[in-house]
Structure 1
Amino acid sequence: MEDKVFNLCVIGTGPAGIITALEYAKLNPAKSILLVEFGKKDTVKNILDDSIEITNTANHHPPYECTNKGFGGTGLTWGGRCVMYDEVDFIDRPVVKNGCTWDVNLFNEVKVYLEKTAAYFECGDAKFNLNDIDEFKDTHVAEGFKENTVTDKVIERWSMPTRFGARYIDEINALPNVTLLEGFEAKTFTDPDDEGNVQALQIRDWNGNVKTIQAEKFVISAGTQESTRILLRNKNLFRLLDNVPDALGKYYQGHLSGKIASVVFNGDPKKTDYGFLRDKDGVYLRRRFQFTTDFLVKNNLLNTAIWLDNPLYHNPKHKSGAMSFMYMAMITPIIGKKLAPPAIADSITKGKVEGIGSHVFNIIKDLPFSIIKPVSIFYKRYLLKRKLPGVFLYSPQNKYALHFHSEQVPFDKNTMTLSPDGEKLIIDYSLTDDDINSVIALHKELDRSLQATGAGRLEFWFPEKELYSEIKKMSRDGIHQSGTTRIANNEHEGVVNRDLKLFGTKNVYVCSSSVFPTSGQANPTFFLGAFATRLAHHLTQN
């Protein structure tokens, strides 16, 4: 293997790495592709996650809750939610402090590849607005809702393969031009020659043994943390530039997320779309409240999605036997770990074990439905091929908790840096005033909009003076990582160009959500898949 020169070497086998390799292999059946994956089958503890230090554990999950090592990458615990980025994410606004280093033209270029991307995710047609889907056109979330500054038409789609590794491993193994190498860490690139070409990469196995891989082109697709660590270790890749790009390792972003209010609709509760819709192909869809581009730009606010949700599971005051039963299952040590990944489980239970007696009372009070409903949900969620993505319960009071998911400011003090020994990755992460105040302002606008049209109103869970501190306390990310190797037009503003090519090189690319300069309201997985599809075509054409 060390004597062979591969046409393409892809580092990392998460959804982006898998899509890049598969699409390139289909376009170039005569060319050789090497996939390098650090993890091995059933990887649990590993030296990379063990060598990460997080300075703010209140707002950032620990390493083992953020990423996964092994074929499929973080797709091993991905929930399957496919969401599109929005035009406003590509418009520079004062609130993002000149951090929007990509543009609407790039957004439109990437959208060309959405249908191919949707095929990989098996999430149906690449339509993310209900007005583009005949059976849902001109429908609304609740009786009396009217669009103005707020729309209820934007949707999320749910992928069939929530485990990309399990879905595509057989296809990868069956391709004669693809070689999968597991248990190796990408360690050291050779210097670019005077033309910017990098000839080889040293990789290291778990026992410290080193191999040298040669390739015509390299794609670093190891997730934000590890892609950034690889580049921080290999600053020699920038030797043809005057300086290492200042943006490398900076502007780390995720999302603010949580619940601070409920919505009460005024119309018929039986006409409220509180749960999932299904399209003609059986794909699960879900509405999200979002705000128009004009409103966000005019009011200098961050892009945010808000959707109907259940009350907090851990608080037995919801009086739902089904919710109490599911909460009790989630906090049961062995069962809970099998029901959801740690970060998702924490978002449901909030790490709290309380009110057990009241939860038991709720379960007994609602028998047999407190057990029948969860059993039905379990069947749909775990035993069917296209799984029920989540659990949302009907409210006869037409009252639902609201879950917000909000963009973060590209803040230069949110960083990933290396310790002096070059091994430990140190993550500094915090929330800014703009992050939090935008969430509050947009909830107020949603309330104003609903009341102005007579559709309903918001009930806030906390006094106004406590909203800031409560949002800061509840928001915890590290799962939707982006920003640290951002796209830009030049090396003074970013790390890669609009084709994802590393500044200072001719044949090294980064395909990770680390290239996204703004985080928007969307989780990055689907849109990164579109970038991966586009990159495979770019590599083929060039």
Structure 2
Amino acid sequence: MTSDKLYDLCVIGSGPAGIITVLEYNRINPQKTILLIEYGFSGQPERNNLDDSIDVKNPENHHNPYNCTNKGLGGTSLTWGGRCVMFDDIDFMKRPLIDENCTWDLNFFEEVKPHTSKAAEYFECGEPIFDLNQIADFKNTTIAENFEDGYVTDKNVERWSMPTRFGKRYRKDLEKAENIKILEGYQAQKFGELDENGKTGSITIRNVRSNELCDAQAKNFVIAAGTQESTRLLLKNKHLFKKLEQVPTALGKFYQCHLLGKIASVIFNGDPKKTDFGFLRNQDGTYMRRRLQLTTQYLKDNDLLNTVLWLDNPLYYDPKHKNGAMSFMYLAMLIPFLGKKLAPPAIAHSITKGKTIGVRKHLWNLSKDLPGSLVTPAKIFYKRYLIKRKLPGIFLFSPLNKYALYFHSEQLPVFENRMELSKDEEKLNIYYDFADKDIDSVIKTHQAIDKYLRDINCGRLEYWYKEEDLPRVIREISMDGVHQIGTTRIADSPKDGVVDRNLKVYGTENVFVCSSSVFPTSGQANPTFFLGACAIRLANYLKKEDEEN
């Protein structure tokens, strides 16, 4: 690469956000030149300097970086499960519980929504309809017999991608475009100094294999390197903020993920055969899944965090479930070389919880359920791994109409949860913990759903633990670090955030961040799909900027 080439756009990071930004910008600006910089490369070693230089201060509740991100074209989509979820109105509203830390608004949400159709095309998850009442085949259907919508709804769904591995899926599209250049095996290090207009013209990049340094020049830069590395890059380039009175206080702060796990089962009163315990299939073949969720009004009135719950299997590792197929799948996950192929580390951990328990009892479950304990996994294996649109997960029918409830809950934006550089700026330290209010909201959400199901004579919750033990248990079982949010958040001024509503870094005129790190609140949603829609919005904004300049 020659350093005298001036690109119209340089995108740093090739995960879904980076690739969508490049492809969409190219689609609407086919005459513009684009440089895509990616740290990973084909044949890279198992370990890398970036992940090795991250120190997670609370490994009990936060996965290690190798389980959270991937290096290489496509980024974390290499091990992404494919869940596509929409954010909710409540996520953009100021509430007493979050108050001034909700630094975006409903207007931003409305500006992103028109781009969800194009995002759904990139993610290959069907039409971006997340309300079952808007889909003719499922209108007025319910999760279980006797269920009816009230302050608890079962109409919001998650949609599922293939899952789409962005590197494999879009490499040819990127490579065949003559105006797009991909640099794999390069680390973005230092932006050039700002000129009098607040623009930088270059960034120094390092060849990961040879350590050779060179400069990449561009008119605009988009940092799309994931929350960890996008935050690290800005922390290492504080000169970008020299036109401000100070470096934004929010930079690296207000780090959020999600609380998740199981503390209860739901027992429905009606016919077990009328319970939607698994996946729904749209006419176009895409998978969808119901979720139980409290309405916006109820969340506001009761000052609760946004949380969803879905029907799930009992704990795989506990042989008390007496299900041969579940025991077989649990034992398969324990085999090192096989477990790694069957599921990404974070998902595998959600099944095994890192525990080897009751192997003999699991073998007994397996043997007594033969041949079903082998036939069922074989059918699932075919649907999960051998066809193009893969079965997203495994959910088994309960003749007792009893299912575990998996919760996925919003986390408060807390200043103390943060990413910061060590004094020598070589290590990224991650400080992460749960607030008491995070945990309290999970418990109150379960209580509200339990009361509602009892009131409408649909069912009830059955807790797995004593009430006084729930706070401790939720803290112990919740482990994230995959959904990284909040460290470069959107706000109306640099006093409250790091980027403006167009994702432009405060103090600059041509540096942008396209990462879930810009989301001020985490909501209940996996951030990937909404980030894809934000990337499309950004590409359109950059086109508008080009035309005006």
Tell me the TM-score normalised to structure 1 length. 0.99
Equivalent residue number for residue 451 of structure 2: 448
How much has 1:161 moved relative to structure 2?
3.9
Pick aligned residue for 2:157 from 155, 176, 181? 155
Equivalent residue number for residue 207 of structure 2: 205
Taking the aligned partners of 1:78 and 1:118, their CA distance within structure 2 comes to 15
Taking the aligned partners of 2:531 and 2:108, their CA distance within structure 1 comes to 13
Taking the aligned partners of 1:64 and 1:159, their CA distance within structure 2 comes to 23
Secondary structure in structure 1 of the residue aligned to 2:27 = helix
Taking the aligned partners of 2:110 and 2:376, their CA distance within structure 1 comes to 43
Equivalent residue number for residue 190 of structure 2: 188
Equivalent residue number for residue 274 of structure 1: 277
Secondary structure in structure 2 of the residue aligned to 1:314 = coil
Secondary structure in structure 1 of the residue aligned to 2:112 = helix
Runs of 4+ that moved beyond 3 A? none
Taking the aligned partners of 1:181 and 1:359, their CA distance within structure 2 comes to 49
Equivalent residue number for residue 8 of structure 1: 9
Equivalent residue number for residue 518 of structure 2: 515
Asked if 1:351 corresponds to 2:354, the answer is yes
Once superposed, what is the RMSD of the aligned Cα atoms?
A: 0.7
Which stretch shifts more, 11-20 or 326-335? 326-335
Report if the CA contact (8 A) 1:38-1:70 is conserved.
yes
How much has 1:214 moved relative to structure 2?
0.5
> Cα–Cα, structure 1 residues 151 and 42, in superposed 2: closer, same or farther, change >3 Å?
farther
Equivalent residue number for residue 40 of structure 1: 41
Report if the CA contact (8 A) 2:9-2:35 is conserved.
yes
Alignment of 1:523-534 (within 5 A): 523-534=526-537
- Deviation per residue, 1:11-61 (Å, 9 max, x gap): 000000000000001111111000000111243210000000011011100
Taking the aligned partners of 1:212 and 1:422, their CA distance within structure 2 comes to 21
Asked if 1:21 corresponds to 2:15, the answer is no
Secondary structure in structure 2 of the residue aligned to 1:434 = helix
Alignment of 1:4-403 (within 5 A): 4-43=5-44, 44-206=46-208, 207-403=210-406
Report if the CA contact (8 A) 1:2-1:213 is conserved.
yes
How much has 1:223 moved relative to structure 2?
0.1
Matched AA of 1:41: S
Taking the aligned partners of 2:463 and 2:43, their CA distance within structure 1 comes to 44
Taking the aligned partners of 1:66 and 1:116, their CA distance within structure 2 comes to 26
Report if the CA contact (8 A) 2:124-2:164 is conserved.
no
- Give structure 2 stretches of 5+ with no counterpart: none
Taking the aligned partners of 1:477 and 1:58, their CA distance within structure 2 comes to 10
Taking the aligned partners of 2:61 and 2:43, their CA distance within structure 1 comes to 28
Which stretch shifts more, 273-282 or 155-164? 155-164
- Deviation per residue, 1:197-235 (Å, 9 max, x gap): 111100011232111010000000000000000000000
Matched AA of 1:70: G
Asked if 1:465 corresponds to 2:468, the answer is yes
Taking the aligned partners of 1:297 and 1:221, their CA distance within structure 2 comes to 33
Report if the CA contact (8 A) 1:192-1:198 is conserved.
yes
Taking the aligned partners of 1:455 and 1:65, their CA distance within structure 2 comes to 39
Taking the aligned partners of 2:386 and 2:543, their CA distance within structure 1 comes to 40
Matched AA of 1:196: G
Report if the CA contact (8 A) 1:143-1:272 is conserved.
yes
Secondary structure in structure 1 of the residue aligned to 2:481 = coil
Equivalent residue number for residue 413 of structure 1: 416
How much has 1:76 moved relative to structure 2?
0.9
Taking the aligned partners of 2:384 and 2:72, their CA distance within structure 1 comes to 24
Matched AA of 1:271: K
Secondary structure in structure 2 of the residue aligned to 1:440 = helix
Tell me the TM-score normalised to structure 2 length. 0.98
Secondary structure in structure 1 of the residue aligned to 2:35 = strand
Taking the aligned partners of 1:151 and 1:434, their CA distance within structure 2 comes to 23
Taking the aligned partners of 1:424 and 1:369, their CA distance within structure 2 comes to 50
How much has 1:100 moved relative to structure 2?
0.3
How much has 1:462 moved relative to structure 2?
0.3
Report if the CA contact (8 A) 2:145-2:458 is conserved.
yes
Report if the CA contact (8 A) 2:231-2:252 is conserved.
yes
Taking the aligned partners of 1:459 and 1:131, their CA distance within structure 2 comes to 29
- Deviation per residue, 1:97-138 (Å, 9 max, x gap): 421000001001100101000010111101001011110001
How much has 1:239 moved relative to structure 2?
0.8
- Deviation per residue, 1:465-505 (Å, 9 max, x gap): 00000000000111000000000000000000000000011
- Deviation per residue, 1:123-179 (Å, 9 max, x gap): 110100101111000100000001111100000000124311111111111111110
Matched AA of 2:483: H
How much has 1:190 moved relative to structure 2?
1.0
What percentage of aligned pairs have identical amino acids? 60
Taking the aligned partners of 2:388 and 2:100, their CA distance within structure 1 comes to 45
Which stretch shifts more, 269-278 or 167-176? 167-176
Matched AA of 1:464: E
- Deviation per residue, 1:305-351 (Å, 9 max, x gap): 10000000000110100000111111111111100011110011101
Taking the aligned partners of 1:459 and 1:162, their CA distance within structure 2 comes to 37
Report if the CA contact (8 A) 1:257-1:404 is conserved.
yes
Secondary structure in structure 2 of the residue aligned to 1:202 = strand
Report if the CA contact (8 A) 1:221-1:512 is conserved.
yes
Which stretch shifts more, 93-102 or 15-24? 93-102
- Equivalenced residue count is 542
- Deviation per residue, 1:45-96 (Å, 9 max, x gap): 1000000001101110011011111111111110000000000000011111
Taking the aligned partners of 1:428 and 1:97, their CA distance within structure 2 comes to 22
Matched AA of 2:72: G
- Give structure 1 stretches of 5+ with no counterpart: none
Taking the aligned partners of 1:336 and 1:159, their CA distance within structure 2 comes to 22
Secondary structure in structure 2 of the residue aligned to 1:305 = strand
Report if the CA contact (8 A) 2:81-2:163 is conserved.
no
Report if the CA contact (8 A) 2:163-2:390 is conserved.
no
- Deviation per residue, 1:328-386 (Å, 9 max, x gap): 11111111110001111001110111111111111111111110000000000000000
Taking the aligned partners of 1:428 and 1:278, their CA distance within structure 2 comes to 40
